[in-house]
Amino acid sequence: MKTSFRSKMLFCSILAFALGISSNAQFFKKLAKKAEKAAERTVERRVEHETSKKTDQALDSILEPGSKGKQNPKAPGNTGGQNTSGGTTNSETSSATGPKTIQVYSKFDYVPGDKQLFYDDFGNDFIGDFPSKWNTNAGGELVTLGDSPQKWLELKSGFNIYYIPDVPRLPEEYTIEFDLAAVGLDNQTSSQAKVAITLSNDDKFNPGSNNAYAEIPFCQYAAIGVTVQNNINGKREIRSTVKADLRNVVLENPHISIAVNKQRFRLWVNEVKYIDVPRLVASGAVIHTVKFLANGFKDGKEKVFISNLKVAEGGVDLRRKLISEGKISTNAILFDSGSANLQPQSMGVIRQISQVMMQESSINLKIVGHTDADGSDVANMQLSKDRAAAVKNALVDIYNIDSNRLTVDGKGESEPVSDNNSPEGKSQNRRVEFIKQ
């Protein structure tokens, strides 16, 4: 019996050892496969990095002359106050390949309106105050983020808490732009964390019977798409969510652009168009207000902010106007503060100018830059010339327009179209003209 018992014990030990070897073999086999896949991903990333270097450097020579492909990190809203033609934007795209490319910017088709209706960077308001040109049913105050002097309005999170700028009654065709920033987000940030923009026929704190509505997601643990919705005569007709992964984008102060052309509604986040619905806005509806609402952010931990709101009439085709009238003036070509570095959202307008020149081979253009009155006369004169030259360089280097067809000039602050004592006036004075020769 003892021998039999010992034999059984020995057999069990051998069996356990054999099973252990088999289990370990399976474990190491799986580990090897994971290591192989990780190596493949590393190689792919390096190849992508190397192949994108040259296109990255080419675009940097246009957007950020002298940068040699290097990007300086910016604090949220770090645009400064001098000669900035609107809001900031994250100059990098959210694509998996990482660096920005000429193709992305050259195909950006957003064109801001050319008649400004409202602009507010909170430049005339004090930190700690609620901005003078806004209304709300919840309260709030202006703050700065990090070392940047840019002022931001925190949007308190909550259902039916609205922030309403004093935008006048809107025409049939108009554009809206603004910057967003967020702090305190992490991998626990809720799928309900969103900022909503509503165009409404109600001028109070209700959605309105006729409205168009879009949501920008801030969730960090999953890819939550961009949602669009409407109500026509109190009845919802459209609600859909477009697939999008904005988790990294919303961490980098995204620039939001919206174009409304009668019923058509389009929305871009940075340079990517996510929404294009041909009949979202109720036909013939009178849109009284633009409303902002934040919801789903954790109190005291997660905060979301807005700045640089610009609303303008137009946003229509500038090509026909240039051909028929021989001259256009636009403040939709944007530059970094106090410099001639083009901001990427400018490419929609520049692209349209290039199309005119390609279609009408006999047209030559004079490009004239203008600034506001911040800074010295001499500095602004040079800055206006440098900015005109930057636009010319973009047309030549990105769209292959013959440089001999383009001349440049600058007027500095000498020909204002509005006063320089308000953010709105300064924004209108910062402009670029195109004149047929």
Is 243 found in the same domain as 216? Answer: yes
Residue 251 shares a structural domain with residue 306 = yes
Q: Looking at the structure, tell me whether residues 162 and 290 fall in a common domain.
A: yes
Find the CATH number of the domain harbouring 388.
Answer: 3.30.1330.60
Q: Binning pLDDT at 50, 70 and 90, where does residue 31 land?
A: very low
Contact 297, 250 (CB under 8 A): no
* Helical spans, DSSP H, in 218-317: none
Q: How many domains does the chain have?
A: 2
Tell me if 116 is assigned to some domain: yes
- The chain-wide mean pLDDT, for the chain, equals 81
Confidence of residue 110 (pLDDT cuts 50, 70, 90): confident
Interval 108-131 mean pLDDT = 89
Q: Which of 42-56, 200-214, 365-379, 419-433 has the lowest mean pLDDT?
A: 42-56
pLDDT at position 6? 54
Burial of 57 (0-12, 13-18, 19+ CB in 10 A): middle
pLDDT of residue 348: 81
Query: How confident is the model at residue 296, as a pLDDT?
Result: 96
Kindly state whether residue 337 falls inside one of the protein's structural domains.
Answer: yes
Give the C-alpha distances (Å, rounded to integers) separating 22 from 15, 28, 224.
11, 10, 43
pLDDT, residue 385, reads 96
> Does the residue 27 lie in any domain?
no
Residue 109 has pLDDT above 80, yes or no: no
What is the DSSP-derived secondary structure letter of residue 391? Answer: H
Domain end marker among 314, 329, 350:
314
- Domain with residue 126: its CATH number is 2.60.120.200
Tens digit of each residue's pLDDT (9 = 90 or more) over 268-294: 999 899 999 999 999 988 888 999 999
pLDDT bracket for residue 16 (50, 70, 90): low
332 in a structural domain: yes
Residue 360 shares a structural domain with residue 387: yes
Tell whether 89 is covered by a domain. no
CA 235 from chain centre, in angstroms, equals 31
Note whether 265 and 181 are same-domain residues: yes
Domain with 428 in it: 318-436
164 in any annotated domain: yes
pLDDT of residue 306: 98
* pLDDT of the residue at 64: 47
Residues 306-355: pLDDT tens digits? 999 999 998 666 777 888 889 989 888 889 888 999 987 788 889 889 98
pTM (predicted TM-score): 0.65
- Whether 281 contacts 174, CB under 8 Å: no
Supply the pLDDT for residue 48.
43
Using alpha carbons, select from 419, 431, 383, 432 the residue that is nearest to residue 124.
Answer: 419
Which pLDDT score, from 0 to 100, does residue 323 have?
86
Q: Are residues 164 and 262 located together in one domain of the fold?
A: yes
pLDDT at 315: 64
Over residues 196-204, the mean pLDDT reads 94
Verify that 124 and 207 share a domain, yes or no.
yes
300 with 348, same domain: the answer is: no
In a domain, 140, yes or no: yes
Q: What is the model's pLDDT at position 271?
A: 84
Taking residues 112-134, report their average pLDDT. 92
Distance of CA 58 to the CA centre of its chain: 21
3-class secondary structure for 102-118? HHHHHCCCCCCEEEEEE
Indicate if 282 and 328 belong to the same structural domain: no
Q: In this structure, are 123 and 227 located in the same domain?
A: yes
User: What distances in angstroms separate CA 153 from CA 130, 182, 207, one per listed residue?
Assistant: 8, 11, 21
Asked if residue 263 is part of any domain, the answer here is yes
In the listed set 314, 345, 378, which residue is the last one of a domain according to the structure?
Answer: 314
> Which pLDDT tens digit goes with each residue over 381-395?
999 999 999 999 999
Q: Is the pLDDT of residue 17 over 70?
A: no
What tokens does 118 get?
Answer: 């409202």
> Is residue 166 located within the same domain as residue 306?
yes
The CA distance from 78 to 27, in Å, is 50
Band of residue 10 on the pLDDT scale cut at 50, 70, 90: low
Give the pLDDT confidence of 393-407 residue by residue, as tens digits. 999 999 999 999 999
Do residues 167 and 177 touch, judged by C-beta distance below 8 A?
no
Last residue of a domain, one of 279, 297, 314: 314
Residues 134 and 213 in one domain: yes
